[in-house]
Structure 1
Amino acid sequence: MKLIDSIVGQAAGIAAIRRDIHAHPELCFEEVRTADLVAARLTEWGIPIHRGMGTTGVVGIVKSGSSSRAIGLRADIDALPMQEFNTFAHASTHQGKMHACGHDGHTAMLLAAAQHLAKNRNFDGTVYLIFQPAEEGGGGAREMIKDGLFEQFPVEAVFGMHNWPGLPVGSFALSAGPVMASSNEFKITIRGKGSHAALPHMGTDPVPIACQMVQAFQTIISRNKKPVDAGVISVTMVHAGEATNVVPDSCELQGTVRTFTLEVLDLIEQRMQAIAENICAAFDAQCEFEFVRNYPPTVNHPAETAFARDVMAGIVGADNVRPQEPTMGAEDFAYMLQARPGAYCFIGNGDGAHREIGHGGGPCTIHNPSYDFNDELIPLGASYWVRLAEQWLARTAA
């Protein structure tokens, strides 16, 4: 690997910052301490900052030369509302909060790149360092954009990166097109008529109606959408009843829908509503249907993806830049890719062997209470950010 020597030399100090962030996780739009830490480090390195965009976001501005060209590099800074099982020294000190997705590491990699860029400035233009809050369900990217992110900090392209457990350390994964799914939620309330369980004919039982509905939803996947199009409908919550001898008045279904295109999402939402309302009507029940669209699909732009792939190949070799297998997980960097061209990649986090004594018994996968970011990635991720910025700003503008 062709890592930047100065970044390697500073990696231990950046890793200490990463572990401090890990020990003090903050949830979406509450990342005050984390934002303070990021702002303090950027200021210490002579980087002007802008704070408060998207509530707790921080943007660092690194300028060099006279060019008006600019590139955006983004890291997310928030944690998850879950209890950590790890007991090593940098485990979470906040009950019910954990950096279980590696945003602490994403922040650290961008800080390491910021330190090098500020000291060396081997480029002509501006690098905007975007430390974004509230990726985990809050839509922090959307909120920063609403607050004028790309008007105040105009970029030609924006890039993001996520660690990926199971992908070997020293490798990247990147592909053009959809790489992460849209994230959507539904809630359906079936209003029946309660009765004694021994006298079901006296009421309208919402439970078998719900059962019919859950089964029918899967025919949308198997019979309504094209077989080559991806889509998932998962009913993850069913709530009904309070006693074994009472037919309840209502039953509530909740769950999620994931797609790679808005066209498939439109189809699924329309068909789910039609099925829910008509099944209820067939059984003489009432239907309340709610469908909330959260994050859109994350779709990488072809030209920017090809450029980023070449940068990666120059660092780790072409054989270690793998195709990015699309995942039904969601990512609010999708909003940035809707606003500006760019690409979102995965960086290999390994198989978990890096974890110290005291880690939980579970696997080192994201959103798992035994997860921990691999600090070995910091020099590699930071070297990628630096080379990407330098080479982007050196290229002939389109």
Structure 2
Amino acid sequence: MSGLSLQSTLAHGRAFAYIAAFHPELTAFRRDLHAHPELGFEEVYTSGRVIEGLKVCGVDAVHTGLGKTGVVALVYGRGFSAQNPGRMIGLRADMDALPLPELGDMAWKSCKPGLMHACGHDGHTAMLMGAARYLAETRHFAGTAVLIFQPGEEGYAGARAMMQDGLFERFPCEKVFAQHNAPDVPLGVVGVTPGPMQAAVDRIEIRIIGKGGHGARPHQTVDPVLVAGHIITAAQSIVSRNLSAFDQAVLSICAMHAGNPLAMSVIPGEATLVGTVRTYSEVIQQQIEDRLTLLCTSIAQGMGASAQVNYERVYPATVNTVAEAHFVADVAAQLVGKDKVWRNMMPSMGGEDFSFMLQVVPGAYMRIGQGLPDGAGPHPLHNSRYDFNDEILPLGAALHASLVEHALPLMAA
């Protein structure tokens, strides 16, 4: 879909029209980031390009070193300053890439073997940069825009690291917003929902300790592989038989490690299972942890083995506050039209460390469609052939900027 066709779908938008004028520059910036992917807390090149771009944009202040490689920029609205910042609204974009080999053949393909921007964080960074330029050049708001360029979203809890470095103490935001591209949502659609938007992410590791021996004499062993098989099967009963049908949860055993594939006749002494649990409710989360621990230890004990369950809570659920979710939907409707706003978008079982920010500051996490009209790809997130759709750069930047302008309106003359 061309830029003109996307623009024709927009209902209103001073910000979009303004930002669309430098769409080629945003595209070049995004593709440069794509070509130089970096993992969490290693975003040295990326944060350097962000700092350089922010200075060119004319923001009022750039703060570095929050969460190691995180960057925060401040833009003051008309009549506001460092001495009088007024109310603050936060906008967040993530910057890190993934440890995946890139299989695409575009000119801006990753130059680092085994690393690529497979989740579109390069695009998120470029959209916030576009908002930074627009806000700095127009300043059509009353207060301070806090632009948060966050490292380490992909499993490193970069949001928490920035908060531990005093993010919201130094920049006390009244509200905070973030957006994520969605290849499975039609181009130009904005989706949000009050309440849970992304699931809590838990990691489970189950270590089963038995007694190894010869495969021809299993009666002299305590086979941990057999115990693991029973645990794998029984674990599937937790969601289906211990939770209400109205509760939402996923429990997946994703890996098993035991023995040596070259030793066909050796029963190992240990086996390890690794998996994940996804939930929206802390009550359900605790119920699963308790039930899984009891089930694993009991099954192992009943078969003469022992089991140790390590249940790690990685990210909490991403829960939008109700008022801010409605606010996002209302602002988006003025930008793209009511028919292109999904106000009750189905939550995802994927995780997101923006959840840490929403635990302390009201706000909302939204998705912006970049797919085909039928909601199809071309390629999903975390896929080796994924690429961000540059078509939505002005729209995402305009949505960021519009949230600030509507949250911090100038007084009528």
Choose the corresponding residue for 1:53, options 39, 51, 66.
66
Q: What's 2:51 paired with? A: 39
Choose the corresponding residue for 1:259, options 279, 295, 320.
279
Deviation above 3 Å: which 4+ runs of structure 1?
A: none
Q: CA RMSD in A?
A: 1.4
Aligned residue pairs total 388
Q: How does 1:300-311 map to 2 (within 5 A)?
A: 300-311=320-331
Q: What's 1:19 paired with? A: 31
* Residue 236 (str. 1) matches residue 248 (str. 2): no
Normalised to the residue count of structure 2, the TM-score between the two structures is 0.92
Q: What's 2:42 paired with? A: 30
Q: How does 1:80-229 map to 2 (within 5 A)?
A: 80-229=98-247
Q: What's 1:348 paired with? A: 369
Cα pair 1:84 1:98 within 8 Å, conserved: yes
Q: What's 1:356 paired with? A: none
| C-alpha displacement of 1:45 | 2.1
Give a deviation string over 1:174-228, Cα, whole Å, max 9, x none. 1101011011111111111111111111111111111111111111101111111
Secondary structure at the residue paired with 2:185?
coil
1:19, 1:391 → 2: CA distance? 30
Q: Where in structure 1 are there 5+ consecutive unaligned residues?
A: 354-361
The more displaced of 218-227 and 102-111 is: 218-227
Cα pair 2:210 2:224 within 8 Å, conserved: yes
Cα pair 2:321 2:363 within 8 Å, conserved: yes
Secondary structure at the residue paired with 2:106?
coil
Cα pair 1:175 1:300 within 8 Å, conserved: yes
Q: How does 1:240-389 map to 2 (within 5 A)?
A: 240-242=258-260, 243-322=263-342, 323-351=344-372, 363-389=378-404
Q: What's 2:75 paired with? A: 62
Cα pair 1:68 1:126 within 8 Å, conserved: yes
Cα pair 1:165 1:352 within 8 Å, conserved: no
Cα pair 2:119 2:382 within 8 Å, conserved: yes
Cα pair 2:141 2:410 within 8 Å, conserved: no
1:35, 1:248 → 2: CA distance? 47
Cα pair 2:58 2:133 within 8 Å, conserved: no
Cα pair 2:183 2:378 within 8 Å, conserved: no
1:113, 1:119 → 2: CA distance? 10
Give a deviation string over 1:145-164, Cα, whole Å, max 9, x none. 11110000011000000000
Secondary structure at the residue paired with 1:394?
coil
| C-alpha displacement of 1:351 | 3.5
Secondary structure at the residue paired with 2:254?
strand
1:5, 1:286 → 2: CA distance? 64
Cα pair 2:194 2:321 within 8 Å, conserved: yes
| C-alpha displacement of 1:363 | 4.5
Normalised to the residue count of structure 1, the TM-score between the two structures is 0.95
2:152, 2:373 → 1: CA distance? 26
Identity percentage of aligned residues: 47
1:74, 1:315 → 2: CA distance? 20
| C-alpha displacement of 1:286 | 1.7
| C-alpha displacement of 1:247 | 1.2
2:111, 2:350 → 1: CA distance? 27
| C-alpha displacement of 1:29 | 0.3
Secondary structure at the residue paired with 1:167?
strand
| C-alpha displacement of 1:46 | 2.1
Q: Which amino acid aligns with 2:187?
A: V
1:204, 1:352 → 2: CA distance? 56
